[in-house]
């Protein structure tokens, strides 16, 4: 994402024109603006000055255009190119100018990674751009923003349900590509006729997704860094809400959505690590049962291997290691209720619980005293009648 002054040439960078005058550069395609250069899809060609011994130099060059778009072209004329040079590419019709972003063996790796087919039909670099061609290219770039505003007014008048996000004029001003996004099919035949009459150029309408639109426009994410889709991310994968669940993230659409309105691409960055860590953590479908009551799972610390449980009667959460949770789950499956989380001594089974009679302690005391009284009565001797003794006066 470039600074706002780059569009008007206010960064302070000077460039010599064909008539010898010094003018401010409109745009930071050269990477020389005082704010540090445009970081949209930048790449560091660290092998550009290193020759491969015994190998012929790879003749395919990576060329970067507006919006971070990169294409691959053959250097059939064996031009002496340096990273950052502006080259002319023949188009049908006319020509277009782009900057060399990478060459050599790194391009071979990029071509293999993106599965780009290089053959005799691949377009070739025509020549290095002259100062006159660069002046015309800068004039074409300056037309992009006014053309975007005017095309939005025309689309609004035609009541078309589409969002025009960017315009790219070809360097010779013979063709203009309009990038738009829409959730339904749009009939823009009348729009093309009006745009062709307005800008006197061949019109091409190219539909892009919302993620591609955010990548072309750029911006700052909630992390404080520039958007991944506008700096280095080129392939967009499907992202499901299960990625947030596996990482114990809050299912808040406002926090999980990016500037494109879709789920953030960074939700997939650490998903594989979380999936590997979750293999050792058991799935808890019901609460753990102890003598104190039922304990419900409150949260899981995946990397510390801790699971937090809490009773419904109290607000304290108890951390348990994974091994202890597995033991308690196994005891509950066998019908055994442990005394607590710390003491796993089986107190008793739920099925074979002996019936307890009421006032059993009182009955035991009555039986004890009854036996004592009966034994005392047996030991007591009767008084003097019938034994020949004279009773005392």
pLDDT at 250: 86
Of the two residues 176 and 10, the one the predictor is more confident about is 176
Of the two residues 234 and 12, the one the predictor is more confident about is 234
pLDDT at 258: 92
Instruction: Kindly report which listed range (38-47, 63-72, 190-199) carries the lowest average pLDDT score.
Output: 38-47
The residues with which 164 forms a beta bridge, in sequence order, are: 180
Long-range contacts from 334-341, C-beta under 8 angstroms, 24+ separation: 337/289, 337/290, 337/291, 338/290, 338/291, 339/290, 339/291, 340/290, 340/291, 340/292, 341/290, 341/295, 341/309
Buried-state track 226-242, b at ≥16 Cβ within 10 A, e below 16: bbbbbbeeeeeeebeee
pLDDT at 74: 93
Please, what is the average pLDDT of the chain? 80
Q: What is d(CA 142, CA 8) in angstroms, rounded to the nearest whole number?
A: 8
Q: What is the pLDDT of residues 233-272, one digit of tens each?
A: 888 888 999 999 899 888 898 899 999 999 999 999 999 9
pLDDT at 36: 37
- Mean pLDDT, rounded, for 179-187: 91
Tokens of 237: 């994968």
Tokens of 59: 């003749």
- Mean pLDDT, rounded, for 308-320: 89
The residues with which 62 forms a beta bridge, in sequence order, are: 72, 102
Q: What is the pLDDT of residues 371-385, one digit of tens each?
A: 666 655 555 555 554
- Mean pLDDT, rounded, for 308-322: 89
Percent of the chain at pLDDT > 90 equals 39
- Cβ–Cβ under 8 Å, residues 172 and 95: yes
- Cβ–Cβ under 8 Å, residues 187 and 139: no
Give this prediction's pTM: 0.67
Name the band, by pLDDT with cuts 50, 70 and 90, for residue 49: low
DSSP 243-302: HHHHTT----HHHHB-TTSSB-GGGGTSHHHHHHHGGGSPP--S-EEETTEEEEEEEEET
pLDDT at 46: 74
């Amino acid at each position: 994402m470039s600074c706002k002054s780059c569009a008007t040439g206010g960064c302070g960078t000077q460039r010599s024109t064909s008539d010898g005058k010094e003018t401010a550069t409109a745009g930071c395609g050269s990477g020389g603006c005082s704010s540090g250069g445009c970081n949209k899809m930048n790449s560091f060609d660290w092998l550009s000055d290193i020759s491969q011994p015994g190998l012929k130099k790879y003749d395919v060059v990576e060329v970067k255009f507006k919006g971070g778009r990169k294409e691959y072209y053959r250097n059939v004329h064996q031009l002496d190119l340096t990273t950052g040079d502006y080259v002319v590419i023949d188009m049908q019709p006319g020509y277009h100018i782009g900057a060399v972003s990478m060459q050599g063996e790194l391009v071979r790796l990029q071509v293999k990674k993106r599965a780009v087919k290089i053959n005799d039909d691949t377009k070739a670099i025509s020549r290095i751009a002259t100062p006159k061609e660069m002046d015309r290219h800068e004039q074409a770039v300056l037309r992009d923003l006014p053309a975007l505003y005017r095309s939005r007014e025309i689309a609004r008048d035609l009541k078309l349900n589409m969002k025009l996000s960017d315009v790219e004029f070809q360097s010779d001003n013979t063709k203009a590509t309009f990038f738009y996004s829409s959730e339904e099919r749009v009939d823009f035949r009348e729009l093309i006729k009006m745009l062709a009459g307005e800008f006197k150029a061949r019109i091409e309408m190219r539909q892009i997704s919302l993620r591609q639109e955010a990548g072309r426009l750029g911006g700052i994410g909630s992390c404080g860094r520039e958007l991944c889709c506008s700096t280095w991310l080129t392939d967009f994968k499907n992202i499901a809400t299960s990625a947030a669940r596996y990482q114990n993230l809050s299912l808040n659409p406002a926090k999980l959505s990016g500037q494109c309105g879709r789920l953030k691409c960074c939700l997939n960055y650490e998903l594989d690590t979380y999936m590997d860590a979750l293999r050792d953590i058991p799935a808890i479908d019901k609460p753990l049962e102890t003598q104190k009551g039922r304990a419900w799972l409150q949260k899981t610390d995946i990397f510390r291997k801790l699971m937090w449980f809490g009773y419904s009667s109290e607000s304290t959460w108890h951390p348990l290691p994974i091994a202890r949770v597995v033991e308690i789950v196994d005891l509950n499956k066998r019908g055994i209720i442990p005394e607590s989380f710390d003491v796993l001594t089986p107190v008793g089974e739920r099925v074979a619980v002996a019936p307890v009679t009421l006032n059993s302690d009182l009955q035991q005391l009555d039986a004890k005293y009854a036996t004592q009284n009966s034994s005392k009565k047996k030991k007591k001797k009767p008084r003097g009648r019938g034994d020949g003794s004279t009773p005392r006066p």
